[in-house]
């Protein structure tokens, strides 16, 4: 190292490199997430063009999420072995041709196949998380991972940018612009990022040894948590534009703007969730996040309802349901809760598995991504089956119940038992 004789200068240089890595990685991840969520907007004219039903539309939006989820485990492990800089750069480069190719697709299977390659952009999370975390001390890793995770706000950026391009130039112009943005992100990332051989996992650690972590019950629990706070976030970010269009009859530009009220805080405020997790602990933040999600989803689940009551003066009809303003406000609160939860789950990981952040983040990220893949398909199937749009929230409400029960018996109740006074045993 050039500054080996002056440790203070060397430390200062390392700190600058750490922040440069964090900024470059966050910008790259924001663009990746914007691309990953592209079908949330351009999927609407594609749905009309191909005359897709709700289930097929859910599958269209979910295909990029599927591939972006499946590659997270190997990408996390490769990041541990080869370093985040080279893996992230390769990932960005691979997605550029796939983005451009979307404009030439004409059949449903074309979009599904291209979507699988496009979805690799979603795997950037499992590269960037261990990459940025290792540049910071343990007491600041929650903050670093939270700032990087704020790249989820790319979902909101997509809702601001894509409708403008779509209305002005047609939907086929969107992939052309996005391909150019991704190429620019690749250049900026490479110029601003750095490598440190000390961050690599020792070569004697086998791939199979890292996969054995799948058997750890704590990892499975974190997968369940993340399938809600991230998988649910991705699914709703994809689903909300068409939900506003169908439920409230809004123009696509207005629908995308209101949907961004959920996506934007759900991404940007992740950094605050990381700071809170550093200060109060992963468990405390996650526990309250689950309860806030539970309340919000309960309110969102109730469908638009009209009922008639026979009174002494005759029949009286009442309407019960959320108007667009109340719905958007509750969705914004849900987005904030999910932002905090995404950060707190990864604080669990950095605390419990400091030597395998890449592998564990890949496994947990896989679970969250699969949630984002499966849920939109279920949303569409439930809509086709019941005709009730709020059935999407009913499904997520049930999933949150599972996490609350699991967390209570494995963390809350166990902690109470361990800390109970000896003369007042807990049963």
Give the per-residue pLDDT at 329.
93
Angle between helices 124-133 and 72-82 (to 10 degrees): 40
Span 325-342, pLDDT tens digits: 999 999 999 999 998 988
pLDDT tens-digit profile, the chain (427 residues): 333 434 444 777 777 888 898 999 999 999 998 998 888 888 889 988 998 888 888 888 888 888 888 888 788 778 878 888 899 999 999 999 999 999 898 899 999 999 999 888 888 888 888 888 888 887 777 788 778 878 878 888 888 888 889 888 888 999 999 999 999 999 999 998 887 777 666 655 555 665 566 667 778 788 888 888 888 888 888 888 888 988 888 888 888 888 888 887 776 777 788 788 888 888 888 889 999 999 999 999 988 888 788 888 888 888 777 889 999 999 999 999 998 988 888 788 777 777 666 677 777 877 887 888 888 888 888 888 988 888 999 999 998 988 888 888 877 665 554 444 444 444 3
Can you tell me the distance from the alpha carbon of 157 to that of 162, in angstroms, rounded to the nearest whole number?
8
Q: Which residues pair with 317 in a beta bridge?
A: 308
pTM exceeding 0.75:
no
- pLDDT value for 63: 87
d(CA 153, CA 130): 19
Residues in the chain: 427
Question: Residue 393: exposed, middle, or buried by beta-carbon count in 10 A (0-12, 13-18, 19+)?
Answer: buried
Burial of 84 (0-12, 13-18, 19+ CB in 10 A): buried
User: Residue 395's pLDDT is what?
Assistant: 92
**What is the tens place of the pLDDT at every residue in 178-229?**
999 999 999 999 998 887 777 666 655 555 665 566 667 778 788 888 888 8
What is the CATH number that goes with domain 12-191+207-415? 1.20.1250.20
So where are the chain's domains?
A: 12-191+207-415
Number of Cβ within 10 Å of residue 131's Cβ equals 30
CA–CA gap between residue 363 and residue 343 (Å, rounded): 16
């Amino acid at each position: 190292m050039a500054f080996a004789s002056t440790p203070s200068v060397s430390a200062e240089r390392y700190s600058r490199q750490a922040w440069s890595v964090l900024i470059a990685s966050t910008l790259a991840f924001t663009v990746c997430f914007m691309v990953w969520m592209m079908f949330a907007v351009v999927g609407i004219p594609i749905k009309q063009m191909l005359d897709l039903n709700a289930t097929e539309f859910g599958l269209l939006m979910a295909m990029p999420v599927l591939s972006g989820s499946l590659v997270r485990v190997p990408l996390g492990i490769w990041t541990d072995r080869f370093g985040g800089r080279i893996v992230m750069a390769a990932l960005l480069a691979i997605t550029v041709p796939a983005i451009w190719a979307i404009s030439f697709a004409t059949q449903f299977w074309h979009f599904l196949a291209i979507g699988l390659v496009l979805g690799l952009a979603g795997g950037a999370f499992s590269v960037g998380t261990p990459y940025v975390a290792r540049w910071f001390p343990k007491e600041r890793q929650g903050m670093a991972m939270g700032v990087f995770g704020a790249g989820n706000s790319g979902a909101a950026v997509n809702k601001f940018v894509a409708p403008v391009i779509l209305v002005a130039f047609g939907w086929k112009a969107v992939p052309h612009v996005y391909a150019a943005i991704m190429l620019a992100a690749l250049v900026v990332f490479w110029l601003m990022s750095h490598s440190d051989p000390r961050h690599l996992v020792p070569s004697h650690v086998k791939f199979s040894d890292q996969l054995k972590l799948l058997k750890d019950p704590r990892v499975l629990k974190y997968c369940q948590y993340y399938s809600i706070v991230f998988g649910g976030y991705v699914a709703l970010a994809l689903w909300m534009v068409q939900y506003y269009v169908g439920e409230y009859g809004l123009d696509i530009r207005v629908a995308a703007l209101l949907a961004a009220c959920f996506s934007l805080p759900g991404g940007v405020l992740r950094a605050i969730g990381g700071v809170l997790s550093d200060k109060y602990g992963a468990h405390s933040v996650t526990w309250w996040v689950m309860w806030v999600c539970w309340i919000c989803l309960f309110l969102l689940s109730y469908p638009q309802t009209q009922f008639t009551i026979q009174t002494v003066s005759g029949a009286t009809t009442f309407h019960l349901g959320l108007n667009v303003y109340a719905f958007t406000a509750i969705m914004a609160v849900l987005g904030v809760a999910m932002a905090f939860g995404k950060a707190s789950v990864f604080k669990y990981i950095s605390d419990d598995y400091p030597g395998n952040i890449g592998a564990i983040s890949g496994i947990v990220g896989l679970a969250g991504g699969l949630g984002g893949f499966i849920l939109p398909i279920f949303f569409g199937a439930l809509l086709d089956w019941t005709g009730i749009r709020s059935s999407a929230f009913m499904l997520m409400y049930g999933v949150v119940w599972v996490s609350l029960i699991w967390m209570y018996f494995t963390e809350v109740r166990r902690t109470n038992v361990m800390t109970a006074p000896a003369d007042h045993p807990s049963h």
